[in-house]
Amino acid sequence: MSKEQEIIVGLDIGTTKIACFIGMRSDNDKVKILGFGKTESVGVEHGVVKSITATAESITKAVADASDQAGVDVDEVWVGIAGQHIKSRPSQGSIMIPPEHTLIEQEDVDRLIAEQYNTMLEPGEEIIHIFPQQYIVDREPLSRDIPPVGVAGKNLQADFHMVTANVQNLQYIKYAVDRAGLKIKGVVLEPVASAMAVLDDSDRDAGVAMVDIGGGTTDIAVFHDGIIRHTSVLPLAGNAITNDIREGCNILKRQAESLKVKFGSCLVQAVSENDVISIPGIRSQAPREIYVKTLAGIINARTKMIMEQVDYDIKLSGFAKKLIAGVVLTGGGAQLKNIKDLCELITATDTRIGVPNEHLDFESVSYADLAHPMYATGIGLVLYGLEQAEAERCEEKEETRHESKGDHVDIFADMGAIDEAPAPAPKPEAEPAKAKRKKKEKENFNDVVNRFINKMFNEDIDD
Residue 433: exposed, middle, or buried by beta-carbon count in 10 A (0-12, 13-18, 19+)?
exposed
Convert the pLDDT of each residue in 256-266 to its tens digit: 999 999 999 99
pLDDT of residue 416: 41
Q: What is the mean pLDDT of residues 314-326?
A: 95
CATH 3.30.1490.110 applies to domain 87-165: yes
Cα separation, 31 vs 4, in Å, equals 10
Convert the pLDDT of each residue in 173-203 to its tens digit: 999 999 999 999 999 999 999 999 999 999 9
332 contacts 190 by C-beta, under 8 angstroms = no
Secondary structure of 181-242 in the HEC alphabet?
A: CCEEEEEEEHHHHHHHHHCCHHHHHHCEEEEEECCCCEEEEEEECCEEEEEEEECCCHHHHH
267 contacts 336 by C-beta, under 8 angstroms = no
Of 281-290, 351-360, 414-423, the least confident: 414-423
Q: What is the mean pLDDT of residues 89-105?
A: 94
pLDDT at 44 over 70: yes
3-class secondary-structure state, position 26: coil
Cα separation, 399 vs 352, in Å, equals 43
pLDDT at 1 over 50: no
Give the confidence band of 400 by pLDDT, cuts at 50, 70, 90: low
Strand order in the sheet with 125-137: 87-96, 155-166, 125-137, 140-141
Q: Cα 3 to the chain's mean position, in Å?
A: 20
Cα separation, 382 vs 188, in Å, equals 11
Cα atoms in the Cβ-side hemisphere of radius 13 Å centred on 257: 10
∠ at Cα 193 (259, 243), nearest 5°? 25
Among 388, 372, 384, residue whose Cα is nearest residue 190: 384
66 contacts 35 by C-beta, under 8 angstroms = yes
Cα separation, 158 vs 404, in Å, equals 31
Cα separation, 53 vs 463, in Å, equals 59
Give the confidence band of 364 by pLDDT, cuts at 50, 70, 90: low
Among 211, 215, 177, residue whose Cα is nearest residue 194: 211
How many residues are recorded in the chain?
Answer: 463
Architecture of domain 201-357: 2-Layer Sandwich (3.30)
Convert the pLDDT of each residue in 335-357 to its tens digit: 999 999 999 999 999 999 999 98
Cα separation, 205 vs 228, in Å, equals 10
Domain boundaries, the chain: 87-165, 201-357, 423-462
Cα separation, 210 vs 191, in Å, equals 7
Cα separation, 223 vs 346, in Å, equals 20
Average pLDDT, the chain: 85
148 contacts 104 by C-beta, under 8 angstroms = yes
∠ at Cα 170 (167, 176), nearest 5°? 140
Residue 15 CB neighbours (<10 A): 21
Residue 371 CB neighbours (<10 A): 17
Q: What is the mean pLDDT of residues 413-423?
A: 41
pTM: 0.81
Cα separation, 25 vs 44, in Å, equals 31
Among 180, 190, 194, 191, residue whose Cα is nearest residue 77: 180
